[in-house]
Structures are given as C-alpha cells and as structure tokens.
Structure 1
C-alpha cells in the first residue's frame, strides 16, 4: 500500500466520495449522486470547521476510500475530548485489500494527536460485516443508538 495517500478531501473529490456513499443498499436509498449541490454546501461547512476532517484515500489519481473524523470537546468523562468516525466507505474494487484498516488506523492516530481520550463510531444495525471489521480493530459494541429524523 505504499502507493496510497491519505489526505484531506478537496471539492474536486466530492463526486467520487458521493459515488462511494451511494454504492451499497443503504446508501443507494439515501444519497443522490446526480445532484451534488447539497454535498458541495456540506463540504463548505466541513472545510470551514477545524474540528471536521473529511479525508480521502487516493491510489494514483483515483479516490478509493473516505471517512469523516469529528473532534468533540466535552465535559463528560472528566472533560474528555472524543472523536467520532463517520461515513467510512471503500471503493468496491478495494474492499478486502486492507484499505479500511489503514483509514481507521489513520483516524485513531489522528484522534490521539488531537488529544482525544475516546474514539467512537456508529454503524447501521444491518451492516454486520462492518461490525465484525470494527470489532477486529478493537472497537467494542457499547451503546444502543437512536435517531430522530427532522
């Protein structure tokens, strides 16, 4: 994997990121790769927030993976800073190659560098393969999540 670069996403990466977000049964129902307008707006908000890290993994000229790392200062856990990993996606041609592990390792290392005491993530209940993957990397299932669509 020496030809792999993990770097901050640029506006030019948006189509590739959205394509990966849409490339599974859940994403196909909630993403709209044909209209990038809302994604560009969201990218601008992310890019202006120093606690948001939208990253891409690039091999050659192709974006082959992505994730978002959010750093959250807080009062709980004795004023601990935590990070949240979201939107982990690997291009279909790269799944099983170790790229997902590399991206998560980057996120954990960056969380340590940012002074975080905890790294957390959520994964849809139907993504059982992802759950096994995260557990192999040392994450423990610890909470029940809830959502309220607005």
Structure 2
C-alpha cells in the first residue's frame, strides 16, 4: 500500500510500539510504516530491521583520533608553516645575521633544506590523515540496492 499523504520532516512517526531502521538510509521508523519518511523508500514489513534494545554505536577509537589530529597538525605545520616560511624568506630577501649567514645568497642551501623538510612533514601529515580516515570507515556486510525489489514488483 502506498501512502498518499507525506509526513513533514519535523513530525515523528506515531508511537505504535516497536521502532525499526530503514534499510536504505538508516533512519528510525515505525514498524507499521509503508515508506521511510526521510528517503521515501517503500518496503514490506520483513524488510524493516528491528533494533535490539542494547545496540551500541561504534565510536572512533583512540588510535584513529590520534592519527587524525597528528596528521592535521603536521599538514598545518609542514605546509604553510615551514615550506611557505622558507619561500617567504626568498620572496622578501631577508638577511640572516651571523658569521655564516652574512648575506642572503649564502642562506640558499639551508633554505632548500628547510623547504624540503617542510614538504616531507606535509606529506607525512597527509598520509596520517588518510590512514585515520580509512581506519574509521564504516563497512557494511551486504550491499543494499535501493529500489530493486520495487522495480521488479512492478514488472
């Protein structure tokens, strides 16, 4: 049965007892609903997944968080902090006082070394960030094809 009246997004489904989860978008729905109020997916009663009472949502672990924030800090330090600071020295031609660095031209090899280290720190930060995001990726056990049953039922 297809519902002619759509619910507003602010309205909650009527409390008729047990609640389930939409297999398409994962939103909470009433078990007697014909369609999901969020995504509009039509489903039969056996398609609705019933949430157990003690369901625990898996949070990102400490290792993922540490890698994420470490990668973010290394990206901010390595990119703009070290590399751009070294190139800004070239742009403004700032002399470095001291016996070894009495002119701008003597600082060239050190400047290249600092820029290279900054790029290496930036690349390590990007790798840490990618690894942390891959570790916290949600993997589903089965692929859910949206609307396949409805299309086959109409044929």
Query: TM-score per shorter chain, which class?
Result: under 0.3
Higher strand proportion, which one? 1
- Which structure is larger by alpha-carbon Rg, 1 or 2? 2
User: So what's the TM-score if we normalise by structure 2?
Assistant: 0.19
